[in-house]
Structure 1
Amino acid sequence: MDEIREGEMAEAQSATQKRQQLSKGMEHLRSVVTVDDLAESAPNTVAETDKASTAFEPVRVLPHRSHDPGNNLKRSDPFQFGSRYLEQGDNIFEFNAWDHVETDDAYKEFMESQYAKQRESPVSEADKIKYNSAPETWWDKFYAVNTSNFFKNRNWLFQEFPVLKEVTQPTAGEKVLLEVGAGAGNTAYPILANNENPTLRIHACDFSKKAVEVIRSNEAYDGKMVRADVWDVAGTGDASLPPGIEAGTVDVILMIFIFSALSPDQWAQAVRNIWTLLKPGGEVFFRDYGRGDLAQVRFRKGRYMGENFYVRGDGTRVYFMAKEELESIWSGDEEFWSQNRQNWRKSQACQEDDGEKDISTEHGEEAKERSEKKDQETMEAMPKFDVLEVGVDNRMLVNRQRKLKMFRCWLQARFRKPKE
């Protein structure tokens, strides 16, 4: 009896430790991110897990599959996103990550319930104005605290975007590369470290003054081969171009987890500015958060700014985009831009006392006409990029020790300004 009691106590203690391993921000996700202990019952099989896991029957035994070179090949196609497919009978803990994993119906149901709860407790109108009026100040605070230690250097960029190997070759010739939203330089400096092209010029721009200070403080910064400046990609007028760059002179633009920091009413100006900067035939290389990513699902009350748009605890904003939405933005789809403009006009009306509530009056009719005219001008002015590739990187990450699974979703794309 004592042995049984001790065993029960040990199990209870283990369960308590496992429960404590989840952060407060993820506790409400426990039922859909934790994996049943039965998954460890057989070293090369997986029993049925919790309600949000795909039911994997223990039908296949493949010892040491993690050492099979066929499962660890380097990708030749940047948009292939790996070849570790999770199949029936696989041990979910055999790898730290599985590629192309679609969430099951139970998890999708949980996602929708989370979104409903988020909509029920949105950010107040006063706070929306606070976070949207000067978003760069929140990133200043972020980089003041985290400096260059928060993000790891993005050495994976050369795999995802082979053009970086091309422009850094010694015989590539004069090339101008612009990174939008350069942060602490975690993209610019890995490119510089691998560069053999003496005529490559790297411009690292961010709308956070503190981020630019961090880039310039790096010992590799020289202001010539790498130049960092404060610039808002959604700027207008004289601020629509970065310092030191003329219109139509950029070969490659990198936008890595930057578009999501913009509110949807900034997208149009950002895309127009990118178009202006690029040479004919110049390309944009894009990676950002996809719809349904764990980072979106885990948001709780008081963070919802608008559909798929949130504010983090540190005041920085993030938008989660769908593949079709991304394609419409960069292809200049007129129907999309008309709807986008209307949606945000309605959103603004909720924040302003005079909004559109007087639409039946003469003043309201004039305001409506001006707004519709602006809609038409927006659509006519939207550039139409060639959408070369748009990929969805669905991945399931696994933490063996904490018995957690995390569904991540990123979008990756290439857009080109047509040649004249």
Structure 2
Amino acid sequence: MSEEETKYFSKDFEWEEVREEVEKNLSLRYHLVPFESSTPLSSPSSSLANQSEAWKSFHNRHSSGRFFKERRYLLKEFPELLSFHEYSKVLEVGCGNGSTVLPILRGKQSSAVYACDCSKEALDRAKEMIDAADGILIKDRFHPFVCDFSRNGFPKWLVCDSCRRDSLQKHRDFLSDGNKSEGMELNKLSSNKDHCCIGVLDFVTLIFTLSSLPFQKMPTALEECISVLKPGGLLLFRDYGLYDMTMLRFPLEQRVGFREYMRSDGTLSSFFCLDTVRDLFVGAGFIVLELEYCCIKSVNRQNGKQMRRVWVHGKFQKPL
């Protein structure tokens, strides 16, 4: 990656500049104060059900797919997807219309991508987009399935209980015995003798997905993600960062938690600082490999105004 490309995709400006401006602006102070409410956002069952329905409605309204653009920056930000072993298995969580899946399938002709979303309509659009893609045949390597992983977990045909237990035991052995088990063959964990599942995965991608969950459900969701990764597998993460332009545009009445906001269509959006992301992933058992703000300037083509976007970029590894 050239120096110019690196600058474009990560550091058009410094996050501290935005932080200083926001914290000095009294009109934006309501974003910073602790949130107090007698009616918390999420009861264990109803809020998640409402979120699933809200996102299904969202994808129905944007069924043409024009709302989303193919994330062509993905392989530059996460080159591991290209450099890993030949027949890698990737799980894209919350794939929407396939804007993340398509560049992965195009980038490596031997990778298999499993992709889930709570919306069947979104998956239908993703399949249509994959089927219509130019170039090499990729549809046979694309495996979409409906799943609300934050409520029900991943299906057992993806990773069965036996593979999960083996992977978890390997993780516990590492924690208790240090590096003694490092030399064992990791392929044994995905040998899948009964062929009841595809086995543990090389990669999980969470691209603008975690922020759509109520904060109190995020730890469980990340524990589910680490349980389907093989030891040494990577979770690749990008999501909304603290003081992103979108956050600052939310009015006070749409604030439903600390750095949590409800859009008018009922969908949820959270905005992360680095410390929060680190605590969530370490708490789930991950090792932090990379964690930083991506600060990118873009231009609104309609009015010519510059927009400052802040995203969080992260790479996290399941311990060997």
Q: TM-score range by the shorter chain?
A: 0.7 to 0.9
Contact 1:229 1:242 in 2 (8 A): no
Following the alignment from structure 2 to structure 1, what is the Cα–Cα distance between the partners of residues 204 and 158?
12
**Offset, 1:187:** 1.0
Aligned residue in 2 for 1:73: 4
Amino acid at match of 1:135: Q
Aligned residue in 1 for 2:105: 192
Pair 1:313-2:227 in alignment: no
- Say if 1:400 and 1:175 are closer, same or farther in 2 by CA, change over 3 A: closer
Alignment length (residue pairs): 272
Contact 2:244 2:309 in 1 (8 A): yes
Aligned residue in 1 for 2:190: none
- Say if 1:325 and 1:219 are closer, same or farther in 2 by CA, change over 3 A: closer
Deviations 1:241-283 (A, max 9, x none): 2363114510011100001001111112111101110000000
Pair 1:142-2:142 in alignment: no
Aligned residue in 2 for 1:99: 13
- Say if 1:401 and 1:208 are closer, same or farther in 2 by CA, change over 3 A: closer
SS at match of 2:129: coil
Higher RCO structure (Cα 8 Å, ≥6 apart): 2
**Offset, 1:230:** 1.1
Contact 1:100 1:395 in 2 (8 A): no
Aligned residue in 2 for 1:217: 128
Taking the TM superposition and a 5 Å limit, the aligned residue runs for 1:32-43 are none
SS at match of 1:73: helix
SS at match of 1:74: helix
SS at match of 2:18: coil
**Offset, 1:120:** 11
Taking the TM superposition and a 5 Å limit, the aligned residue runs for 1:125-140 are 125=39, 132-140=48-56
Aligned residue in 2 for 1:267: 218
Following the alignment from structure 1 to structure 2, what is the Cα–Cα distance between the partners of residues 303 and 136?
19
The answer for unaligned runs of 5 or more in structure 2 is 133-137, 168-199
SS at match of 2:227: helix
Contact 1:179 1:254 in 2 (8 A): yes
**Offset, 1:294:** 1.1
Contact 1:119 1:304 in 2 (8 A): no
Following the alignment from structure 1 to structure 2, what is the Cα–Cα distance between the partners of residues 264 and 126?
11
Taking the TM superposition and a 5 Å limit, the aligned residue runs for 1:2-21 are none
Amino acid at match of 2:30: A
**Offset, 1:233:** 2.6
Pairing partner for 1:251 from 186, 189, 202: 202
Pair 1:404-2:317 in alignment: no
- Say if 1:397 and 1:186 are closer, same or farther in 2 by CA, change over 3 A: closer
Aligned residue in 2 for 1:60: none
Following the alignment from structure 1 to structure 2, what is the Cα–Cα distance between the partners of residues 391 and 312?
26
Following the alignment from structure 2 to structure 1, what is the Cα–Cα distance between the partners of residues 304 and 69?
25
Larger Rg: 1
Identity of aligned residues (%): 27
- Cα root mean square deviation, aligned: 3.1
The answer for unaligned runs of 5 or more in structure 1 is 1-69, 83-97, 333-382
Pair 1:182-2:95 in alignment: yes
Aligned residue in 1 for 2:185: none
Aligned residue in 2 for 1:173: 86
